[in-house]
């Protein structure tokens, strides 16, 4: 099995084959994220939503028990995805146990699923494992997913990887979808980076200043 896994081909993300699944990024559950700082985590989630808009990816959003302490979808996501239907689960912990959610995923017609959510070890892992079992290629955005602690995150990622999932950062997702800087004719990728990576914004400012001086 290890030899077979080592020989697996490089399945690049494609903007024509991928869909984004946002699972339980809710205001209440946000308080449970302790493997990243609140500011950085929220920024990563925003970046992922902006990636979906930039590359026109289908998006499936689901929440769990909104009327309880889990709370509604995070405001920053409601702002960025105002027209996206929210599939509100009444009790299923694993989103894949919800028929409406599975139907929405199938309706995208995509076989590459980019998944992020709260928490990594439960809501993300359960859905990712189920999607893999259903024949999908799964890419887990680890820095836009959150857990109660780092000791929860590591085993969860390992469990998903063993099943065939590929862990990625939002920056890696964006870069793999773009593939070639020359394709950023609209400047959307550059805008994404300057808005979500302060160091990159300074890099661009430095470059633009040098161009003006030359």
- What amino acid positions are annotated as catalytic residues? 123
The residue with tokens 């001086």 is 213
Structure tokens belonging to residue 168: 């990625």
Distance CA 79, CA 59 (A): 14
- Chain Cα centroid distance, residue 65: 21
Distance CA 30, CA 185 (A): 36
Strand segments (E) across the chain: 18-23, 59-64, 86-89, 112-117, 137-141, 166-168
Q: Cis bond leading into 119, ω under 30°?
A: yes
Q: Roughly how many angstroms between the first and final C-alpha of the chain, as a whole number?
A: 57
């Amino acid at each position: 099995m290890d030899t077979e896994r080592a020989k697996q081909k490089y399945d690049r993300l494609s903007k024509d084959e991928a869909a984004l699944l946002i699972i339980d990024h809710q205001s209440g559950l946000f308080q449970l994220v302790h493997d990243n700082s609140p500011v950085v985590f929220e920024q990563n989630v925003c970046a992922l939503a902006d990636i979906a808009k930039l590359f026109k990816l289908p998006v499936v959003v689901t929440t769990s028990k909104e009327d309880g302490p889990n709370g509604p979808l995070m405001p920053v996501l409601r702002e960025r995805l105002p027209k996206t239907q929210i599939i509100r689960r009444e009790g299923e912990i694993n989103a894949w146990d919800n028929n409406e959610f599975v139907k929405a995923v199938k309706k995208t017609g995509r076989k590459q699923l980019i998944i992020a959510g709260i928490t990594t070890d439960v809501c993300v892992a359960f859905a990712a494992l189920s999607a893999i079992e259903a024949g999908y290629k799964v890419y887990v955005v680890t820095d836009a997913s959150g857990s109660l602690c780092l000791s929860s995150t590591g085993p969860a990622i390992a469990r998903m990887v063993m099943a065939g999932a590929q862990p990625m950062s939002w920056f890696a997702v964006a870069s793999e979808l773009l593939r070639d800087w020359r394709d950023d004719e609209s400047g959307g990728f550059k805008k994404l980076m300057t808005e979500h990576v302060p160091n990159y914004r300074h890099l661009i400012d430095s470059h633009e200043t040098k161009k003006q001086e030359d």
